[in-house]
Structure 1
Amino acid sequence: MILKYLIFLSCIVYALGSSNDDTRVIGGQNASLNQFPYQVSLRYKGTHSCGGSILDSKTILLAAHCVAGSSSSLMTIRLGHTQLNAQTEEYPVKSFTIHDDYDPFKVINDIAIIKLTQPILLRDGVQAITLPQKDTLPGEDVTLSGWGLTSYPGGKPNDLQFINLKTISLEDCVHAHNASKQPIMETELCTLTTKGEGACQGDSGGPLVDSNGVQVGIVSWGKPCALGYPDVFTRVYSFLTWIKQNRH
């Protein structure tokens, strides 16, 4: 696995499934084929490990902890389908760039960019994500998509899942995590709706989008899985300059 034991403990991945249907996120549902055209699966040695989003035809946005300490030669990006086992396009990873101030112990500045060896053919169902032009406020409706575990412990779903969430204030997020040694930074964004709805291992690095389909967050960390604690995302708006400097 890409995730080291320490990061596994601190990083969350969306989606707890019900006992009756382990292919569905609690409070969520299966995604339709072209619903999330920017969604990708990061494969490590051929196995799904993290989500990510298409920035442009040769660039993928995701979390630093998804690639830190790993070799790009063992990574590929798969896209163009909602099912993990679908025989679809797969692109070798040329290189990746991690934020210079990424701290794996505090899990801050958790952002990275992957460069592909060849360009993606952008088309219907495979599109670049839109980046935010304004910051995200508490109380906004947001949507998470990913192939994270549907139970903890448990297995990954084959079908891409999505769930609708609400952003909360940093103050509420800090209060909820007051027993945690992990800091909550202004460069992070938190969501919480209700216990039983949230992220789990495998959603890490994936996109959180607002009601206009603009990516506002990257799945970073939390208490696994959907136990009623806020999930913490890298706040994309805080890193627009860094993205611009490192995407080409």
Structure 2
Amino acid sequence: MLVTLLIACATLVLATAAPTDVPAGRVVGGADAVDAQFPHQVSLRYKGSHTCGGSIISRNYILTAAHCVTAEDGETGELVVTPANQLSIRAGSLDRLSNGVVINVADVIVHENYGSFLNDLALLLLESPLIYSDRIAPIQIASTDTPAGADVVISGWGRLKTNGDLPRQLQWNVLSALSNLRCQTSTLMFSSSLICLGHERNNGACNGDSGGPAVYNNEIVGIAGFVMGGCGSNLPDGYAKVFYHRDWIIKNAKL
């Protein structure tokens, strides 16, 4: 089974706030977000170019995926963390190319047990604190486990289809949380650290949605990690489960 990380060389993320209507489209081709709908959403940028998504969890910290800020050393095979001075974030804009504010990253904290698609989360300490507004605001981290069957909102600037174009404006959609058992049997990853989101074919996340949030009940419950069988397949998408990692996030982000 093909499992693909959702990082891309010029695209972005999932995220969400509680919308009032379900979009007719999909993140793989999706419905445009509206102003201030996702104030926690940020674009993670590598050397000035948009690569992944992330979520504001405090004035000083962004939550994203570990694979967005790491790479494997070609000679040793060891995991190398991207230097903080090569990273920045754009907040407060639906446009992945302009507007909002751009702030440099001061430090990168990768989960110490990241590997094999599991524990795929990282924190970014910003050089200067965010100034909150209706377009820039934190999202609460998950306080309980997400019930199976719950509607979970995703958003992002990821590709509209496999090898497709990148949208300039943030897109969003609604997927469905799977039970822990179904998630484990679908992914063959027998860990409670994942949350899987099910969807109909031609829906879901795609390359560039890495690191972005999935939201339920106005809390971030997942961090976009991988797809199986290509974008928009009939297989679920995999996310790091925020509730499972709640203590780690609180400790390292000093919440």
Both structures adopt the same fold (TM-score exceeding 0.5): yes
Q: SS where residue 163 of structure 2 aligns?
A: coil
Q: CA deviation at 1:9?
A: 5.9
TM-score calculated relative to the size of structure 2: 0.84
Say whether residues 1:230 and 2:232 are aligned partners. Answer: no
Q: CA deviation at 1:26?
A: 4.8
Report the aligned-residue RMSD.
2.0
CA contact (8 A) 2:151 2:177 kept: yes
Structure 2 equivalent of residue 189 of structure 1: 195
Structure 1 equivalent of residue 224 of structure 2: 219
Q: CA deviation at 1:184?
A: 4.2
Say whether residues 1:159 and 2:166 are aligned partners. Answer: no
Matched letter for residue 11 of structure 1: L
The answer for unaligned runs of 5 or more in structure 1 is 1-7, 16-22
Q: CA deviation at 1:81?
A: 0.8
CA contact (8 A) 2:56 2:139 kept: yes
- Structure 1 segments of 4 or more deviating over 6 A? none
The one of 52, 67, 76 equivalent to 2:88 is: 76
Hey, what's the Cα distance between the residues in 1 that align with 2:208 and 2:28? 16
Q: CA deviation at 1:213?
A: 1.5
TM-score calculated relative to the size of structure 1: 0.86
Say whether residues 1:93 and 2:93 are aligned partners. Answer: no
Q: CA deviation at 1:239?
A: 0.9
Taking a change above 3 Å as real, the CA distance of residues 202 and 90 of structure 1, as seen in their structure-2 partners, is same
CA contact (8 A) 1:43 1:75 kept: yes
Q: CA deviation at 1:140?
A: 0.5
Taking a change above 3 Å as real, the CA distance of residues 193 and 24 of structure 1, as seen in their structure-2 partners, is closer
Structure 2 equivalent of residue 54 of structure 1: 56
Say whether residues 1:125 and 2:130 are aligned partners. Answer: no
The answer for unaligned runs of 5 or more in structure 2 is 8-12, 15-24, 71-79
Q: CA deviation at 1:154?
A: 1.9
Which deviates the most, 150-159 or 111-120? 150-159
Matches within 5 A, 1:139-150: 139-150=149-160
- Number of residue pairs matched? 227
Structure 2 equivalent of residue 10 of structure 1: 4
Matched letter for residue 247 of structure 1: A
